[in-house]
Amino acid sequence: MIRMVGEAEYRDQAEASLEAPGDASMVFRARPRSIVMACPDGCGETLVINLDSRADKAWRLDMRGGGLTLFPSVWRDGGCESHFIVWRGRILWCDRFEEGNREPAYDATIEPTVLAAMDPIEPRNAVEMADAIDELVWDVNRAADRLVSRGLARSRKENGVWVFTRKDEAKI
């Protein structure tokens, strides 16, 4: 689990509030700048996750649905090399298959809205659809995958990103 322990104006202030793996604090100066997090795997490292698109690659932050959600996944390419998703306040390990490593509860009522956000011709990725329907990207991605598995949509990878199209006759 991710435990939001506060908000600070500067990184060092945010880092001082971290006590345990998975603790996180937001650096906020007029807008969210970053999330400072004690690495959830317990390696002792502090992660700084940029939220400000003006300062290079930025993660999307959402606090709806019972906790912190970040998109895309966090993948450390050094140190402990952890790879995880932060979704509705939970840590979902991408490379560990262990007890308790489960996605948040699924709400199938999102499927008709996700299907309607898909175009039958022009492929759309989960971020585009999530923006269009004001939902969490991870929720939209999971619903889109389920729609594909039910034969109502198609998916393919374009430029390293999964995109989806609705089958012409698809209705829920």
pLDDT in tens, the chain (172 residues): 899 999 999 999 999 999 999 999 999 999 999 999 999 999 999 999 999 999 889 999 999 878 899 999 999 888 888 999 999 999 999 977 677 788 888 999 999 999 999 999 999 999 999 999 999 999 999 999 999 999 999 999 999 999 999 997 766 6
Rounded Cα gap, residues 143 and 137, in angstroms: 10
Reported for 156-163, long-range contacts at CB under 8 A and 24+ positions apart, including other chains, are 156/123, 158/123, 161/125, 162/125, 162/126, 163/123, 163/124, 163/125
pTM of the model as a whole: 0.88
Per CATH, domain 108-166 is 3.40.50.300: no
Domain definitions of the chain by residue range: 3-93, 108-166
